[in-house]
Chains A and B, each alone.
Chain A
Amino acid sequence: MSPVLVVEGLCKGFTLHLQGGVSFPVLRGESLALMPGECVALAGPSGAGKSTLLRCVAGNYGAGAGRILIRHRGAMRDLAAADARLVREIRTETLGHVSQFLRVIPRVPALDIVAAPLLARGAGRAEARARAAALLARLNLPERLHHLPPATFSGGEQQRVNLARGFVAPNAVLLLDEPTASLDAANRAVVAALIREAKAAGTAILGIFHDSELRDRVADRLHAVDPLEPAA
Chain B
Amino acid sequence: MSPLLEAEGLTLRFGALRALDGVSLALWPGEVVAVVGESGSGKSSLLRALSGLARPEAGRVLYRDAAGAACDVHALSEAERRRIARSDWGHVHQNPRDGLRMGVSAGANIGERLMAAGARHYGGIRAAAAEWMARVELDPARIDDLPRHFSGGMQQRLQIARCLVTRPRLVFMDEPTGGLDVSVQARLLDLIRALVEELGLAVLLVTHDIAAARLLAHRIVVMRQGRIVEEGLADRVLDDPQHPYTQLLVASVLAA
> How many residues of chain A have a CB within 8 Å of chain B?
18
8 A Cβ contacts from B220-256 to A: 232-233, 235-236, 239-240, 242-244, 247-248, 251
Q: Please name all residues of chain B whose beta carbon is closer than 8 Å to the beta carbon of A85 when the two chains form the complex.
A: 28, 31, 218
Is A170 located at the chain interface by the 8 A CB criterion? no
Is A217 located at the chain interface by the 8 A CB criterion? no
Q: Please name all residues of chain A whose beta carbon is closer than 8 Å to the beta carbon of B235 when the two chains form the complex.
A: 60
Q: Please name all residues of chain A whose beta carbon is closer than 8 Å to the beta carbon of B240 when the two chains form the complex.
A: 14, 55, 60-62
Whether A87 and B190, one on each chain, are in contact in the complex, defined by CB atoms closer than 8 angstroms, is no
Whether A18 and B233, one on each chain, are in contact in the complex, defined by CB atoms closer than 8 angstroms, is no
8 A Cβ contacts from B190-213 to A: 190, 193
Is A144 located at the chain interface by the 8 A CB criterion? no
> How many residues of chain B have a CB within 8 Å of chain A?
22
Using A17-B247, A62-B240, A85-B28 as known contacts, say yes or no to A105 and B233 having CB atoms under 8 A apart.
no
**Min CB gap A119→B, angstroms:** 9
Q: Please name all residues of chain B whose beta carbon is closer than 8 Å to the beta carbon of A106 when the two chains form the complex.
A: 186, 189-190, 215
Whether B190 and A108, one on each chain, are in contact in the complex, defined by CB atoms closer than 8 angstroms, is yes
**Min CB gap A139→B, angstroms:** 25
Closest to B250 in A: A18
Q: Please name all residues of chain A whose beta carbon is closer than 8 Å to the beta carbon of B232 when the two chains form the complex.
A: 62, 84
Using A85-B28, A85-B31 as known contacts, say yes or no to A107 and B186 having CB atoms under 8 A apart.
yes
Which of B28, B218, B236 interacts with A61 by CB under 8 Å? B236
**Min CB gap B46→A, angstroms:** 18
Most buried by A among B28, B187, B235: B235
Closest to A91 in B: B233
Q: Please name all residues of chain B whose beta carbon is closer than 8 Å to the beta carbon of A17 when the two chains form the complex.
A: 243-244, 247-248
For the complex, what is the distance from the CA of A151 to the CA of B12, rounded to whole Å? 44
Closest to A116 in B: B197
For the complex, what is the distance from the CA of A15 to the CA of B243, rounded to whole Å? 9
Is A88 located at the chain interface by the 8 A CB criterion? yes
Interface majority SS on B: helix, strand, loop or mixed? helix
Closest to A119 in B: B197
Which of A15, A87, A107, A108 interacts with B233 by CB under 8 Å? A87
8 A Cβ contacts from A14-32 to B: 14-18
**Min CB gap B239→A, angstroms:** 6
Most buried by B among A17, A18, A60, A105: A17
Q: Please name all residues of chain B whose beta carbon is closer than 8 Å to the beta carbon of A108 when the two chains form the complex.
A: 190
Is B113 located at the chain interface by the 8 A CB criterion? no
Which of A14, A62, A105 interacts with B190 by CB under 8 Å? A105
**Min CB gap B238→A, angstroms:** 10
**Min CB gap A69→B, angstroms:** 18
Whether A84 and B218, one on each chain, are in contact in the complex, defined by CB atoms closer than 8 angstroms, is yes
Q: Please name all residues of chain A whose beta carbon is closer than 8 Å to the beta carbon of B236 when the two chains form the complex.
A: 59-62
Closest to A17 in B: B244
Q: Please name all residues of chain B whose beta carbon is closer than 8 Å to the beta carbon of A107 when the two chains form the complex.
A: 186-187, 190
Q: Please name all residues of chain B whose beta carbon is closer than 8 Å to the beta carbon of A62 when the two chains form the complex.
A: 232, 236, 240, 242
Q: Please name all residues of chain B whose beta carbon is closer than 8 Å to the beta carbon of A87 when the two chains form the complex.
A: 233
Is B219 located at the chain interface by the 8 A CB criterion? yes
For the complex, what is the distance from the CA of A59 to the CA of B244, rounded to whole Å? 21
For the complex, what is the distance from the CA of A15 to the CA of B242, rounded to whole Å? 8
Q: Please name all residues of chain A whose beta carbon is closer than 8 Å to the beta carbon of B243 when the two chains form the complex.
A: 17
Whether B218 and A88, one on each chain, are in contact in the complex, defined by CB atoms closer than 8 angstroms, is yes
Which of B31, B187, B239 interacts with A55 by CB under 8 Å? B239
For the complex, what is the distance from the CA of A16 to the CA of B241, rounded to whole Å? 9
Q: Please name all residues of chain A whose beta carbon is closer than 8 Å to the beta carbon of B28 when the two chains form the complex.
A: 85
Closest to A16 in B: B247
Q: Please name all residues of chain B whose beta carbon is closer than 8 Å to the beta carbon of A61 when the two chains form the complex.
A: 236, 239-240
Q: Please name all residues of chain B whose beta carbon is closer than 8 Å to the beta carbon of A84 when the two chains form the complex.
A: 218-219, 232-233
Give 9 closest A-B pairs by Cβ, nearest first.
Answer: A17-B244, A84-B233, A61-B240, A107-B190, A106-B186, A84-B219, A17-B247, A60-B235, A87-B233
Query: What are 30 A-to-B residue pairs whose CB atoms are below 8 Å?
Result: A16-B247, A17-B244, A17-B247, A17-B248, A18-B244, A18-B248, A18-B251, A55-B239, A55-B240, A59-B233, A60-B236, A60-B239, A60-B240, A61-B236, A61-B239, A61-B240, A62-B240, A62-B242, A84-B218, A84-B219, A84-B233, A85-B28, A85-B218, A87-B233, A88-B233, A105-B190, A106-B215, A107-B186, A107-B187, A107-B190
Which residues does B use to contact A, with CB under 8 Å? Answer: 28, 31, 186-187, 189-190, 193, 215, 218-219, 232-233, 235-236, 239-240, 242-244, 247-248, 251
